[in-house]
Amino acid sequence: MRGCHWLMGWVLLGVGWPGLMVGQNVDMEEVRRRAEKYEREAAEEAAKKAPAPKLQPKPAPAPKPQPKPAPRVDHDREAWQSAEKCGTAACFEAYLEEYPKGRYARMAKARLKAATEPLTQPASAETVSDSNQAVAALLDSAAKYVKSNQLDKAGAVLERALQIEPRNAGILHDLAQIRLHQGQYHQAESLAIKSNSLAGGNWSLQSRNWKVVASARKAAGNTAGAKDAAFWGGSLAPVQEREESP
């Protein structure tokens, strides 16, 4: 018991215990009780004077995880991709109706124009010999399909004709026109350029091929290339007029 031994010593010496004299019998149990009392009172007094313990601040709650923002959907771009994949005039018109000021509106107008330009007079008839009746029959079928706006069937028939006469510049030109109206601009340009390489001195056919190339490039977004093609088509127009004049 802390502090009890010195307190009991004083008591035994008779220096501070009321009612006891030196030499008298000491009640040690009473001494122990009083010593515990004094020690307890001293501890309570010291506790009152001691500074209060500092309270530890509560830890801040962990931040709640923020939900990820939903991905933004570019409806304009999706509508344009759908129209481009479709490739028909109706699809481009639908895009322009939904997004008249969309990012792809100018491109849609250019492709709509290319898809709705009337087909020129078929050039294949100019370059097919009368002796090749099979090709002539195929070209007649293709012309009927074009009039009924069945461009897929017309293109398939012209491809069959090209298998018979692969170097026929007129058939290549007609197929290039169909591909242009179907939205297959790169193939239309390639066919028209190949037709020009086989057209020889047929300036009329070359001029029409350059016009197909100009329309295809413009619809594909190649503005500079379209201007170049239009220039060449225009430069051959006077030659064409001189050839056609009596």
pLDDT in tens, 158-176: 999 999 999 999 999 999 9
130 and 238 together in one domain: yes
**Is 50 contained in some domain?**
no
Per the CB < 8 A criterion, the answer to whether 244 and 204 are in contact is: yes
Indicate the pLDDT class of residue 131, thresholds 50, 70 and 90: low
Q: Which residue has the tokens 């350059």?
A: 210
Same domain, 24 and 129: no
Structural domain total, the chain:
3
The answer to whether residues 155 and 208 belong to one domain is yes
Asked whether residue 50 carries a pLDDT value surpassing 70, the answer given is: no
- Domain of 136, in residue numbers: 120-244
Write down the pLDDT at residue 191. 95
Residue 134 and residue 211 in one domain: yes
d(CA 226, CA 124): 24
Residues 102 and 201 in one domain: no
168 is written with which tokens? Answer: 């026929």
In this structure, are residues 169 and 202 in contact, taking their beta carbons and an 8 Å threshold?
yes
pLDDT band at 136 (very low <50, low <70, confident <90, very high): confident
State the Cα–Cα distance between residues 194 and 207, nearest whole angstrom. Answer: 13
Sign of the CA dihedral with 127 first, then 209, 187, and 79 last: negative
This prediction has a pTM of 0.57
Rounded Cα distance, 115 and 234, in Å: 21
Q: Which of the listed residues 53, 84, 112 is the one where a domain comes to its end?
A: 112
Q: What is the pLDDT of residue 239?
A: 53
